[in-house]
Amino acid sequence: MADEGSYFFEPFTESFGRRLKVEKFYYQGKTKYQFVQCLYNKFLGKVLFLDEKIQSAQIDEYIYHESLVHPALVTHPSPREVLVIGGGEGATLREVLRHSTVEKVIMVDIDRELVELCQKYLPEWSEGAFSNPRTDLIFKDARPFVEKTREKFDVIISDLTEPIEQGRSVFLFTEEFFSKSFEALKEDGLFVLQAGSADPSYSQFFCSLVKTLKKVFPIVRPYWTFVLSFGMPWGFVLASKTKDPLVLDEKDIAQRMRERAVKKLKYYHPGFHQSYFALPLYLVKSIKQGKVLTDSNPFIWKS
């Protein structure tokens, strides 16, 4: 554990890492499922680390969360029922609730303690979303929930930590789980997930998710953006039964956002939508090398 006034070291690989000066610690401790650190850094603002990996920073959390949520919700013509998997900080929930068409959001997170810590120390992330009457917060393992639910959703959003050894999310990134998610969607439903780093050296997870989702969904559109606090480009994948985000033009998107009263965004806008999906050549080539992830052969980041 680092102390206030000292430097917190975040390892990326065995040969690369970075240091953040800790001005203040709001919390350090272990929940039932993960080690949580919430601190303040003058440059990044409030920062959340889980198992020593950065999850969110005040300076730019909106870039990540708006990128995860709005391309999928805008692509759906009228999203009413949404499922959020993970997303303990509440910011994914916050962005979903900006769409007035949404009547109900179920958020399923396994770690009640983490959600309570985020409500206490990071209220700027959720902005009251947990107490919104459209929110149904459930503390369960997402896999059995999705496998057993009888509800059908317009959009499912996966905002999970990346799969690490002994981690709880390993089997939420497999063909079997994606097939169950497909079944939990309505006929025109969409699935979107955060897909990890999209840099030239460590895009294996991102590329394998694209390959795996193509085994399940007829339309799969990988996209990316740069997240400053992560220090690298970050990947997302939108998978759909019938709707293609690439057929929407700027006017279509602007009209949908007006009709739904989507306001106060800081990153996503109608003119930016298409640019998300323009991938650099190294990713285009790497996706072809991706592997299909299954319960018997999942992806696990080695520490």
Going by C-alpha positions, the residue among 62, 103, 111, 55 that lies closest to residue 83 is 103
Structure tokens at 185: 């969607």
CA 190 – CA 212 distance, rounded (Å): 15
Largest CA distance in the chain: 54
Structure tokens at 198: 């999209």
Residues 6 or more apart whose Cβ sits within 8 Å of residue 18: 9, 10, 12, 231
Compute how many other C-beta atoms are within 10 angstroms of the C-beta atom of residue 66.
Answer: 22
Residues noted as catalytic: 159
Say which DSSP state 247 is in: G
Q: Where are the alpha helices (DSSP H) in the chain?
A: 61-75, 91-96, 112-121, 123-126, 142-148, 175-183, 204-213, 250-259, 281-287
CA 160 – CA 63 distance, rounded (Å): 16
Strand partners, 301: 164
